[in-house]
Every structure is written in structure tokens, then in C-alpha cells.
A and B are shown apart, each in its own frame.
Chain A
Amino acid sequence: MSQFLQPTILLLREGTDTSQGRAQIVSNINAVQAVADVVKSTLGPRGMDKMIQTGPKVTISNDGATILNLLEVVHPAARVLVDIAKSQDDEVGDGTTSTTLLAAELLKEAKPFIEEGIHPQIVIQGYRKALELALEKLEGFSINISRDSPEDKRNTLLKCAQTALNSKLLANTKQFFSELVVSAVEKLDPNILDRDLIGIKNVTGGSVTDSFLVDGVAFKKTFSYAGFEQQPKRFENPKICLLNLELELKSEKENAEIRIEKPEEYQQIVDAEWALIYEKLETIVKAGAQIVLSKLPIGDLATQYFADRNIFCAGRVAQEDLLRVQKATGGQVQTTVNGLNPETFGTCGLFEEVQVGAERYNLFKNCPQSRTATIVLRGGAEQFIQEAERSLNDAIMIVRRCFKANKIVAGGGAIELELSRYLRHYARSVTGKTQYIVNSYAKALEVIPRTIAENAGLNSIEIMNKLRQRHAQGGDEGRWYGVDINGQSGVCDTHSSFVWEPSLVKRNALCSATEAACAILSIDETVKNPKSDQDTKMKPKGQPGRPPMGMRR
């Protein structure tokens, strides 16, 4: 705090760092740029993956939110980006990279204004105004998809899923997976569309196209005791009993103690314990259950007891799996066997234990109330499947969103360019500083098509010129021109080549990116308390510290 004149007035505790003013805003913007640069190359169908090693774990991903999360960003301003990526992920599930890039680009455009001394609030106001206009226009531009016939609707969903999968590892098999995803979502209750009811199970080995959808529930064979192999492994229309109950010979109460006075009583105690467990087992058998699933262990005694009576059992079924079995089969999870009756049992068309790769899986198919589906993913390496799972997750979220909202826009940067064109046009009609700012907003929007083109190894300047020209011609014809990574010219009508996205994704991306940019612009002072952050390496800027190790490279 050398700038304080004598006598020093100590306002803050020693070691507290403050930095403020215009320099602080600019420095924050720079930090945000750096983070956005990391995810920049993942955007678009030719986007690349990142490999991030954290401890012994290695993640390979293309998903913006996942990457940002694994980077462990600590810079306070840059963290805002991580948060908006996450919120985009939670809200719509896809478009995390574009949101991040957009926010960073908006800030980059704002930087010259700040440096020239325009008050940040004016920039913020301008951006807000631009956002408002953009959203309004987005609504107007988006296309209503006819959903008169189920085929049309399904087609739309397929297209949207494919667009989401475009940039992922699964791009080459997107047809296959979009079918899978759409069929899975269609299984859900259309009013709720609970994402948790679509299970994704990973089994290494096999080709990705060996993945399949189970119309019902599937889970890995649980740990089993001797006698399990003697149980039947296939049922048609079985009665399924769901329990949250331990079926084992054990002490009924912890810490209980029995005092026996006479040796004869000894046998009675032993018998009593056996009677307890047998009573439970008998009740289950009497009620007519054919499959017994429990969240808690089913011991060897019970396993053998069931085996003798042609009943299949599985203990230690994971909570989420049990929940999905419950939803699918219409059964109810019981915590006691008292009052067990056939009404609490679920049922399904077919139960089977099958071999998938090196694992055995329990499949419950053709469930009557099938409100759940399971995707069994196959693939070469663990990381591959994990990334595939994340990609499918994105696609599922998109399809879910699309299921409800029936408005779409064309991807490939087309909608951003169209909005940009409109904003530029509008800017000419206003006076004052706002004109510049709205113009900047329009320019920032162009980052999406530009990055897509750059990542695809195309000449981005040439492509952007072509696209601007197309859009400037106006009318419906030029409206949906976007980056084409396959063709010769580099541009095409992305609407007619079915690069479709729900307009909701864009809406949310625009909102959160603008909000984040405004939030960062409005910070003009950072006060960092040394105690609150133990990490001594994290020094605020403006303070000469010891040269960081990072200088080496």
C-alpha cells in the first residue's frame, strides 16, 4: 500500500491486496480471454478434444463444461466463465463452449471502450439493449416445426440430436446414436421427461455400434453368493419383488446381549434366529415373487433358498437402478416383508441375464409402464466410453428440450450471423455511444462462425466475407447461411442441410453470456483477504512476486 501518504492510515489488514479502477477491469478481461482460449478449439464439428490429467485420472473431453471444470480455475473473474458454462450445462445441456466463447468475445470487444475511458455502465447498458433486441429477433427468426405427424416430430428430434453429436467423438455414428437417444427419450413420460430415468451403462469392449437400447432397465449382475448359478436366468412376465431389506442370517439388533441360564436354552436361541430369516424368506416365496431385488445384501442362505424354489435374486442393487426398476415395472420398494402382497410386485415382459462383453447383465424388457430406458454403451477404451457418455448426455438433454419447445434455428453459425446483421442494421438508427456498443455486440456474435471455420482449417476471413455478403442480401434466402465444413465453398444453407438446434439453446447461451460479460465489466475493485485463501501462489496482479514456475515455457 505504498501509495498511501504519511501518516499511513491502515484500513485493511496487512497482506490484503486490493486492485481497482480501469486497470482491474482490463486485467479481468485478459484473464477471461485466456480461459476461453483453452476451450476455443473444441467448438464445431471439427473441434478437437482436450486431455486433462488430474491425479491418476485422465479425462478426454470435448465438452466445454467438463473441460472448464477440470481446469480448476481459481482466478475470480475467470471463474465466472466456468459458472456460466455450468449453468448452461444444467439448463440446456449443450452449447457450453459457445456460451463461454461468446462471453469472452463480448469482453474482448468491450476492452477498447474501457481503455478509451467509456464508463463500464454505458457498455453494460448497450450490451443489455443489444441482448434484448437479439432475443426478440431470435424469437422471430426461429422456425416452428410442424408436429402434426409423429414422423415429422421424430425427424426434428433426430436432426437436433445429430447436430449436438456433430462435434463429438461419436460424429461418425451420429445417425445410429441419434436414433438411440430419441428412442430413449420417447420412452419417458412426456409430461415430466425426467433425465434420471434414462440410464447409461458402460461396458468396455466391442465397437461403438454394438451399443444398444434396452426398453426397460438393465444393470450389471450384482455380487452373488454360491448357489446363484442354480437360479433360473430367464422369466416371462415375472413377478418382481423389490426390497430394501437385508436377507441374511445375522443378529437382529446391534449391541444386543443374551444371557442364557441353562444350556438347553442355547438351541432355542439358535433356532429363533433361523426362524426369523426363514419366516422372511417364506413370506416372499408365498407371496409368489419370482424375482427378488434388494438394495441391501442378500446372503448365501437366501440365495440358496431361492435357488431351491426357482426364484432369481440379486442383492446390493444400486439405488438408482432399483428406482428405475420400480418405475419401469410398477412395483413398490418394500422395507419389510410384512404385508407383502401381489399388488406391490412389479412385472415386465421379459427378464433375462445376458452376457455383454465380459460382464453379465440383468435385463428387464418390455415393461408395462415403461417410463424408463437404458442405453448400454460399448467402446474400446474406458475414456472413450466416458466421453461417449458425456456426448450422449448432451444429445439427450437437447432432445428433451426439443421435445417440449418446438422452435428451432439453424446452426453452423447461421443464426449468430443473422442476429449480427440485424444488430448492425439497428445500430445505424441510434445515436450516441450506444451505436458503437451495439455494433461491438454484433461483431462479437461473429465469433461463433469464425471459430467453427478456423477449427475446420478453413480460411476464416474468406468464409466470413462470403457469409456476411449472403446475409446482407437479406430475405429468407440468405438467412440460414452458415459454415459448411464439408463442401468446397465453405458456406451453405445450414437449415436445408439439417444442422438444427433448439432455439432455446441459443436463447440461454446469449442470455448467460451477456450476463457474465456485464458482471465482469461491473467489477472495478478486487479485495483479496490473505487469510481467506491459503493458496499463496495465487497473487493478485500488480504485485511483483517471485517469478512463477510457469515462466519456463
Chain B
Amino acid sequence: MSLAFDDYGRPYIILREQGSKKRMKGLEAYKSNILAAKAIANTLSSSLGPKGMDKMLVSPDGDVSVTNDGATIVEKMEIQHPTAKLLVELSQSQDAEIGDGTTGVVVLAGKLLEQALTLLDKGIHPLKISDGFDRACDVAIKHLENISEEIDIQANEHEALIQAACTALGSKVVSKRKRELGKIAVTAVLDVADLGRKDVNLDLIKIQTKTGGSVEDTRLISGILIDKDMSHPQMVKEVNDAKICLLTCPFEPPKPKTKHNINISSAEDYKKLYLQEQQYFVDMVKLVKDSGANIALCQWGFDDEANHLLLQNNLPAVRWVSGTDVELIAMATGARIIPRFQEITPEKLGKAGSVKEVQFGTSNERMLVIENCQCTKAVTILIRGGSQMIVDEAKRSIHDAICVIRNLIKDNRIVYGGGSAELACAIQVLQYADEVSSVEQYAIRSFADALEGIPSCLADNCGLNPITSVAQAKARQLQENNHRIGIDCMELGTTDMKEQRIYETLSSKKQQIQLATQVVKMILKIDDVIAPDDY
């Protein structure tokens, strides 16, 4: 790229390595940016909705993942283009904030950009377009709040929560079991939720996966599951009324951190040293035993010598428990983490109803289940499934469902899904457009068109005729003044989403529209792209 030429047509060298840089300006820049972003949105659009399809992504190492989750797809696509990357971040920030609706937000942004492109062709200034979008966004958000309904999350055994979870799970590979999984997710969240502060710490829900079995075998453990087994095969497999000793020190002779050398000059000394080492083991086991503990979990390892002693003393033990697990167990059982054998006291032990080792199928793998803990503040969802891919996808799906439930606990307002909320907003925005006298009117109208893109995309993915079904739904919304009319994706015979019980959280919908508008505005504001000319 060259910025200027002299009288003889020779370029000035102004920038470093300017020969290898590429510059796009004005309309060319807008268009190339929009096209790149649209390409991403198009890839995702077929994943939207209950009949959305999955994507298979193969990583450079050959790992295959099959997923329907927007954030995961765009993340694994390893996108290079700078503008397209903005959409990736968009999806991820929706994921971080809400956890659900990651596909929808990208599709909406894509639709908005598509509309912006036609407006640009009409010769409207990009900032006028983004101003219009901004105003339309405000109208849409306000309308969403108007049509949202408060639900009672406690009523009817948390039926509303389960339905919302089912909506989130509806589009995933596990949709056949959505009711069961939804229930599991709801119970898990309610177990750890602090309803008074309306706060849910998702770190307290551990999702553990295990290949084998089927998705139906997925279950909730009101306690903790760790992917470890007893350190010695002959140790007891089940401890009831467990008093757990959590250690962060190894069953080994203590080592000073300062560099040290031991010089032994005589055989007696050697013997003494040996005996002393032995004594350490005996003392350690004794200290644990004396405190009343009947199981020891250790963050570090211990050698066979200690293992043998533990077995002899009838003290089941687990080694190499990860730091996060140690913390979770401490929270759940009320144990204090003990850094040193000398500090073991009976008060510091955690209590659990039972600790047992379970085996899965015919495989030799075992896991440790800690149940009925003293203060059940941590739960585990054990996901089973036929293959690694299914298990992984199920994990992502359940994560989405958990996020939805958490959001509902935070803010119990919902809107109806199936594209009905978008349609209702579109109608409202369209009405507003007619009141605006400036150029923005076009942009506002286009915003409404873009919102309609979501139900039309849903219909398309379900094999319905997108144009007819959206037109029908829109007409009925207007005729009956019923904002709950959407697309009947599941072909249940009704388009009233309240009857279909398709619930989505208000916060997620709001966030989708706001974030998409924000990113589109940003893309529209770029009129100059300077990049290395290598792709």
C-alpha cells in the first residue's frame, strides 16, 4: 500500500514495510468487513433452534468435537479475519455473561449486518445506520420488558425452571432426555443457590463426565465425585459416617525446602536414619487415626511403604486428589484443609454420610463418591453417554441449562421463545420507525427486518417455509394482539408459545439484542482497514 506518490508516480515510503501492508478504505472496507462477519453468522444460522443441526469440528491434532453450541463452534473454528473475530468475541461474551443464546446473538448480528449492507448500497451514511439501529434497539429492549412475564420459580415443584431448562436443552443432541436432564440441572442449581441473595456460584456444581452407558444414566450426586480410587486395592470400598481428613502434605518424611545434604558416615547412623524414616510413617498414620478419622484424602502422593501401613491400620486413603477437588470437598463436608500432620484435630475433620468407590460397566475404572455431606454446598452431575463426543456435547448442553436456571433465579422474568419475542419486538420497532422523520427511519425499519430474521431462520431450520410461517405468525400477533405467537418448530399444532411452554429468560434476550447491536455499530464505524497483506 502506498499513501502518496510524487510527481513522477513513484510512491513515498512512509510506513514501515509498507509494501507488505494492505489498506482498504471507505465502502470497500465496510463491505469486506460485513461479508466476513456474515460468513460466520451464516455458518451458525443452521444451528439455531430445536431442529438446528450440529457442526463437526476437527482440531489440528485430530480431535473431533460435535456441537451445537454457538460459542464452542466459533471458538474451535480458529477464525483469523479481524472483523469475524469480533463476532467470535461477541459469542463468547454472551457465553460468559449469560451462558445461553450464543448462537442467537451471532445470527442476529449477521442479520443486522446484512440489512446494513443494503442500506449502505442506498448511500446512507454508516453512522446514520448505526444511530438508527441504536434507537431501534432501545425500543426493542423496552418492548421486551413490557411483554416479559414474571414467573414464580417455586410454584409447582419448580415447574417453570424445568421448562426453561428444557427450552435450553431442546436444541441439543440430548433433547430426547431434556425433561430428565432439565430436572437434574434444576435440582443441582437449587442445591447450591443462595436464594436470599439471588446468587448462584456455579463453581460449586461440578460436572463430571464418563464415557459409557447412555445419556439416561446421567445422574445428580448430592455430593462430590472424584475421578480417583482408593490407594490400595484391598482397602474397604465403602465408608459410612465418614470422618474425612483432608491433607495437603504427603505421607512422606518431611523435607526441608532449603537445599540439604545428609552425610552418613557410619552404619549405625544409616540404621538410625532408616528407623527414623519408618517412625515418621508410623507417627503420621497414628496421628490421623487418633483424630478419629476413618478416611484420608491427600493432595499429594505417598509411597508403597505408607500405603501398606495405611492398609494395615485399616485406614482407607486416596492420593493425588486435585486442589480444586480438595477445596470442593472441604466446602461440602465442612472439613478444614490440614497442611501438617501435627495439626490434625478432630474438629478439622469433615463429615459425610458415605464415601464409596463405584465401578462403571465392565471397565476397570473406578470413581469415588462422597455423598450426604455435612453441608451440601457442592453437587456433582455425572454425565454418561455412548461416546466422548456425546458426553462432551451433553456437558455443554447441561452447562447452558444451568446458566439459564441461574439467570432465572437472579431475575425471574421470562419472554416466550420460538421467535415470538423477536417478532413482537419487530412489530413494535416497525411502528416506531414510522414516527421518525429523518434518514434513521430506514435503519430502524431494517432493524425490524433483521429481528424477523430470527424466526425465519428458526422456521427454515425446521423445514417449514420461512416466509409463510413468519408472515402467518406476524399476522396473528397483530390480529389477536398476542405477543406469544411464534414458530411451531416442534409441530405440536399450536403456535402459542405459552402453550408450548417455550420459556426464555428476559436477561438473555435483552443481552442478545444489546450485544449484537453494539458489535454491529462497531463494525459499521470502521472505514479503514490496514493489515498485513498476507491473506
Contacts and interface: CB of A to CB of B under 8 A. Distances in A.
27 contacts: A31-B14, A41-B527, A49-B522, A49-B527, A51-B530, A52-B530, A53-B82, A58-B82, A60-B526, A62-B525, A72-B17, A75-B13, A172-B131, A204-B93, A206-B93, A227-B330, A228-B327, A252-B258, A259-B261, A260-B260, A300-B323, A304-B248, A358-B96, A379-B93, A381-B90, A381-B519, A553-B1
Contact of B256 (A31, A270, A301): A270
Contacts of B340: 274
Nearest to B127: A46
A250 B258 CA distance: 7
B122 interface: no
- Which 4 A-B pairs have CB atoms at the shortest separation, nearest pair first? A205-B97, A358-B96, A34-B4, A34-B3
Contacts of A274: 340
Given A46-B125, A205-B94, A380 B528 contact: no
B262 interface: yes
Interface of B: 1-4, 6, 10-20, 22-23, 29, 33, 82-83, 85-86, 89-90, 92-94, 96-97, 125-128, 131, 134, 199, 201, 203, 248, 254-263, 269, 272-273, 276, 299, 323-324, 326-327, 330-331, 336-340, 511, 514-515, 518-519, 521-522, 525-532
Contacts of B532: 53, 55
Interface centre among A35, A62, A380, A535 (most CB of B within 10 A): A380
B82 A208 contact: no
Nearest to A540: B13
A297 B85 CA distance: 35
Contacts of A380: 89-90, 93, 514-515, 518-519, 522
A383 B522 contact: yes
Interface stretch (A261-269, A338-346, A510-518): A261-269
A42 B125 CA distance: 14
Nearest to A544: B10
A37 interface: yes
B136 to A, nearest CB: 12
Contacts of A49: 522, 525-528
Interface residues of A, number: 91
Contacts of A206: 93, 97, 511
B384 to A, nearest CB: 28
Given A71-B15, A304-B339, A266 B276 contact: yes
Could you say which of A226, A249, A269, A357 has the most chain B C-beta atoms within 10 Å of its C-beta? A226
Contacts of A256: 258-259
Interface string A303-344: 011011000000000000000000000000000000000000
A379 B12 CA distance: 40
B261 A550 contact: no
B126 A48 contact: yes
A382 B527 contact: no
B248 A300 contact: yes
A273 B89 CA distance: 48
Contacts of A459: none
Given A51-B530, A255-B259, A72 B89 contact: no
A498 interface: no
Given A30-B6, A304-B248, 7 more contacts: A52-B530, A53-B529, A172-B131, A255-B259, A380-B519, A541-B10, A551-B11
A537 B271 CA distance: 76
A134 interface: no
A119 B209 CA distance: 81
Given A30-B4, A30-B12, A226 B522 contact: no
A274 B255 CA distance: 11
A441 B162 CA distance: 72
B89 to A, nearest CB: 4
Given A257-B260, A304-B248, A550 B89 contact: no
Given A270-B256, A304-B336, A304-B337, A539 B13 contact: yes
Counting chain A CB atoms within 10 Å of each CB, the highest count among B17, B127, B273 belongs to: B127
Contacts of A70: 530
Nearest to B125: A457
A98 B527 CA distance: 18
B273 A263 contact: yes
Contacts of B1: 550, 553
A262 B264 CA distance: 8
A33 B323 CA distance: 60
A80 to B, nearest CB: 12
A258 interface: yes
Contacts of A27: 6, 12
B82 A273 contact: no
B100 to A, nearest CB: 13
Contacts of B272: 263-264
Interface string A194-236: 0000000000111110000000000000000111111000000
Contacts of A249: 257
Contacts of B12: 27, 30-31, 34, 75, 541
A497 interface: no
Interface string A359-384: 00000000000000000000111111
A537 B17 contact: yes
A336 B11 CA distance: 62
A192 interface: no
A537 B13 contact: yes
A205 B510 CA distance: 12
Contacts of A153: none
Contacts of A538: 13
Nearest to A33: B4
A266 B525 CA distance: 70
A507 to B, nearest CB: 29
Contact of B260 (A71, A253, A269, A379): A269
Interface centre among B16, B96, B273, B525 (most CB of A within 10 A): B525
B3 A35 contact: yes
Contacts of A301: 248, 339
A548 B323 contact: no
Given A52-B530, A259-B263, A260-B260, A226 B521 contact: no
A46 to B, nearest CB: 5
B135 to A, nearest CB: 9
Contacts of A9: none
Give the interface centre of A252, A257, A264, A358 by most chain B CB atoms within 10 Å.
Answer: A358
B519 to A, nearest CB: 5
B520 to A, nearest CB: 10
Given A230-B331, A263-B269, A270 B522 contact: no
B324 A226 contact: yes
A252 to B, nearest CB: 7
B527 A50 contact: yes
Contact of A269 (B256, B269, B518): B256
Contacts of B3: 34-35, 37-38
A10 interface: no
B2 A551 contact: yes
B379 to A, nearest CB: 15
B258 A258 contact: yes
B262 A260 contact: yes
A169 B522 contact: yes
Interface in A97-154: none
A85 interface: no
A358 to B, nearest CB: 3
A53 B530 contact: yes
A411 B128 CA distance: 21
A111 B482 CA distance: 69
B89 A172 contact: no
A27 B13 CA distance: 11
Contact of A261 (B13, B125, B263): B263
A48 B525 contact: yes
A74 interface: yes
A74 B14 contact: yes
A315 to B, nearest CB: 15
Nearest to B18: A550
Nearest to A541: B6
Contacts of A55: 532
